[in-house]
A and B are shown apart, each in its own frame.
Chain A
Amino acid sequence: MVLDAKIPKGPLAEKWSKYKASQNLVNPANKRKLDIIVVGTGLAGASAAASFGELGFNVKAFCYQDSPRRAHSIAAQGGINAAKNYPNDGDTVYRLFYDTIKGGDYRSREANVYRLAEVSNSIIDQCVAQGVPFAREYGGLLDNRSFGGALVSRTFYARGQTGQQLLLGAYGALNRQIKAGKVKMYTRSEMMDVVLVDGRARGIVTRNMVTGAVESHFGHAVVLATGGYGNVFFLSTNAMGSNVSAAWKAYKRGALFANPCYVQIHPTCIPVHGEFQSKLTLMSESLRNDGRIWVPKKKEDAAAIREGRLKGSEIKEDDRDYYLERRYPAFGNLVPRDVASRAAKERCDAGFGVGKTGLAVFLDFKDSINRLGEDAIRARYGNLFQMYEKITDHNPYKTPMMIYPAIHYTMGGIWVDYELQTTIKGLFAAGEANFSDHGANRLGASALMQGLADGYFVLPYTIQNYLADQINVPRIPTDHPAFKQAEEDVKAFINRLKSVNGKQSVDHFHKILGHYVWDFIGMARDKQGLESVIGKIRALKAEFWKDVRIPGEVKGLNTELEKANRVADFFELAELMAHDALEREESCGGHFRTEFQTPEGEAKRDDANFMYVAAWEYKGDNQTPQVHKEPLNYEYIEVKARNYK
């Protein structure tokens, strides 16, 4: 298989305009004849569904939550980037593009990322027009802040709730189309399979999570905007329901899955407290603008803190190791996420960690509070400080916060070309569900930008280029054999899960899987560990299929059945992640192979041999998948070692 990314010809800055100028469009009368299915209603899905509806297409949108407003985009805290250059500090589209490519450790496509930077400004205009209450200055204009890894202030924000406000904006646009009859919304619906007719995606099969009914839906095209797969780690900052299943079903039907080993471990999360913990809570990295990260210089101080004999605030200034400022004087506490996370792990592994478990570092606001006053800090981070105190029972105004890295975002995802089309014709992937724009590491405030770019400004164009010659394709009735077969497969799968009738709960298996993935495919990986974990995952999966217990009925609402369906796919995804991490014999971004590092412990890329996208093809249950390589060519950027020192 030759992967054709369909990058338009011409100079980088003109590719997108040229594409739009020459692409095929669908005339308004014909748009009415075309149906589009959108799965997932987060930033990418809701914005795409609303925009399609506005254009005149008939849209069916699906989400597993009880309302599209609850998609996990809502939890994004920090902000959204755009190259507006309102602060006059030197930002340009090119600089945003450059920072994103560099931040991704030179493992993303130039053309896609340039387009992302190019449309970033329109996103801000769009959201403000929708009534998104971004932070403003007293003069009435929008406020910007600098955000992890950027030298300019290009991040727009709405207190610590930017994702919420952007999603509610997109949800409003979606609601308007629902009212207009252009979007039909299906809530509490889980996509169980994608249906192919003559090699093209023509619909999906869903399970109604309230009634248990297995249902088919036709679409001339299908868009997956189903988010990332961080929950393969069990403990993550994702919502409890976030899952890989829609993407995974597409993978099994022939869509390639790209770079699954690129996962982002976010440096500033509240540390794990105990074995019953169900999820991890992120503390926005905007905190790193004013907080300083440190651990004790002396091991005995660290030990005393762990044992509760000493408090962080009692450690003298000279006895503190501000290790990010020490190692990376140019960027200091604002180094990108992958760098900050690994540095925290390095200190904790070396015995300098704090907290009861020793797996925590301090994030200290003492100096900022002294410099700016407590009120200023409260205005910037009040809701985050409150959230921290509710969870930990510690007051971060008085005592330094404790943080530790946690899985947060997945850069890998379904392989898509420039048009966001997968290797299955008519199947598109948007937002975190695709692999396209973040390379091996995502910069802060870029996820919201990408989700909305895909949904508002990319798909509404590119999907028309696909649909233009589909106008004479009649709606395929859902009693077509392809739909019936898919429905039967889904029912058989559900019955197989239910009939295992073993002794252990789904969570029991999911937790074990999470430990495997964290230990072997987490922040540090090596050949031996990766090889061994594949066997462990397969054995655990076999055990799951022998001993899982799903109480209740297949009909009606069954939360354990929902979990089991998702975890069954996580086993397989975990194995694919291990294959990918094993195949990539270099370190880049979020993928750190301990065999490939500089003497200072920095990631060592191998551009000569690994400057490509690894896109995996499904080859059957327990079979080794096949890798296809899409070379990455950098024409406009000089590829360098990433240096934040």
Chain B
Amino acid sequence: MANINVKLKIWRQKNEKDAGKFDVYDLKGVSTDSSFLEMMDVLNEQIIQGGGEPVAFDHDCREGICGACSMFINGRAHGPDTAVTTCQLHMRSFSDGETITVEPWRSSGFPVIKDLMVDRAAFDQILQEGGFVSINTGGVPDANAIPIPKDDADASFDAATCIGCGACVATCKNGSAMLFVSAKVSQLALLPQGRVEASRRAKAMVAKMDELGFGSCTNTGACEVECPKEISIANIARLNREFLGANIKS
């Protein structure tokens, strides 16, 4: 463990309409064992003690699973480490004296609410179009009634680990939500339970994604690199297949 001093260049924006700007803060004696968000806590404590308003940012579980945290750090979604969310990023990834630039997700699909906090309701809206299996509570078959090949179940699981953080959108130069959409489409399409509605689901979710202003996918693969859950762009290929199939049928 060591302590480092850092200079923080942080995006401050009062509300959606405000133009916003970078403010610069010096923070001394940051433990390298701290997580990035713990460092932000210390900064906020310093700001409050100085009579200012703390930096607003989304965070909740702080163990990499809820998907709330969403910072663009030194030009990368969730910062320099791979396969982690911002809350799992630790200060040992930074060096003494470093300037760290922190911005919110920037995408027309995710308007800024305040400072580093953005509105990701669009993700919920996309899933409301079909990101589920249309069954009611009760009256379902026994859990072991339908055997599922382990490889399919595992592939479905890999897609299902999406935490809906939005790093893929924030990273994509087109602001595309294809990795997010494809993860849900794949998870369900790979299982017999979800196969029944696979075409309908793909069409409805893609239509909603387009309507909400997310951009198109041009296969740069940037989303896959920044995804904290390492969701593969193979899912996008599967989505395209489902989508194409659905449109041929209709």
Contact = CB atoms under 8 A, between A and B. Distances in A.
B148 A130 contact: no
A323 interface: no
Contacts of A627: none
A47 B150 CA distance: 27
B44 to A, nearest CB: 8
Nearest to A563: B54
Nearest to B164: A69
B123 to A, nearest CB: 7
B67 A456 contact: no
Given A173-B137, A278-B37, A556-B15, A131 B191 contact: yes
- Chain B, interface SS category: loop
B137 A505 contact: no
Given A129-B140, A133-B160, A391-B90, A66 B121 contact: yes
A41 to B, nearest CB: 11
Interface string A122-150: 10111111110111111111100000000
A304 B208 CA distance: 61
Nearest to B47: A551
B121 A67 contact: yes
A50 B137 contact: yes
B143 A84 contact: yes
A240 B59 contact: yes
B76 interface: no
Contacts of B88: 387, 390-391
Interface in A206-225: 210
B135 A129 contact: yes
Interface string B203-241: 000000000000000000000000000000000000000
B123 A67 contact: yes
B92 interface: yes
Interface string A378-399: 0000000011001101000000
A556 B47 CA distance: 19
B51 A551 contact: yes
A187 B121 contact: yes
A175 interface: yes
A164 interface: yes
A126 B44 CA distance: 44
A86 B144 contact: yes
Contacts of A387: 63-64, 88
A519 B45 CA distance: 25
Given A133-B191, A164-B161, A556-B15, A126 B137 contact: yes
Contacts of A210: 113
Interface string B184-205: 0001100101100000000000
A325 interface: no
A557 B113 contact: yes
Nearest to A392: B33
B121 A161 contact: no
Given A187-B121, A391-B88, A507-B45, A274 B156 contact: no
Given A125-B143, A131-B188, A172-B127, A65 B60 contact: yes
A457 interface: yes
B50 to A, nearest CB: 10
B62 A279 contact: yes
Given A161-B161, A391-B88, A505 B113 contact: no
Interface string B137-176: 1101111101111100110110011011000000000000
B34 interface: yes
Nearest to A64: B60
B150 A136 contact: yes
B84 interface: yes
A281 B63 contact: yes
Contact of A70 (B60, B64, B81, B127): B60
Contact of A66 (B15, B58, B127): B58
Contacts of B178: none
B132 A172 contact: yes
B169 to A, nearest CB: 14
A72 interface: yes
A125 B54 CA distance: 46
A138 B153 CA distance: 10
B54 A65 contact: no
B184 to A, nearest CB: 9
A138 to B, nearest CB: 5
A172 B131 contact: yes
A549 B48 contact: yes
Interface of B: 1, 15, 31, 33-35, 37-38, 41-42, 44-45, 47-49, 51-54, 56, 58-68, 81, 83-84, 88, 90, 92, 113-114, 117, 119-121, 123-124, 127-129, 131-138, 140-144, 146-150, 153-154, 156-157, 160-161, 163-164, 187-188, 191, 193-194
Interface of A: 47, 50-51, 54, 65-70, 72, 74-75, 84, 86, 122, 124-131, 133-142, 158-159, 161, 164-165, 168, 171-173, 175-176, 178-179, 185, 187, 210, 237, 239-241, 273-274, 276-279, 281-282, 386-387, 390-391, 393, 456-457, 460, 503, 505, 507-508, 549, 551-552, 556-557, 559-560
23 contacts: A67-B120, A74-B66, A84-B144, A124-B143, A125-B142, A126-B138, A126-B140, A129-B143, A131-B191, A137-B150, A140-B149, A158-B160, A274-B31, A277-B34, A277-B38, A278-B41, A278-B62, A279-B62, A281-B63, A391-B90, A393-B90, A551-B52, A551-B53
The 10 closest A-B pairs by CB, nearest first: A140-B147, A172-B132, A129-B140, A133-B157, A128-B143, A239-B60, A70-B66, A51-B137, A54-B136, A179-B128
Given A133-B157, A164-B163, A551-B51, 18 more contacts: A51-B137, A65-B60, A68-B124, A70-B60, A70-B61, A74-B65, A84-B144, A125-B142, A126-B140, A131-B132, A276-B31, A390-B88, A391-B90, A456-B138, A507-B45, A551-B53, A557-B113, A559-B56
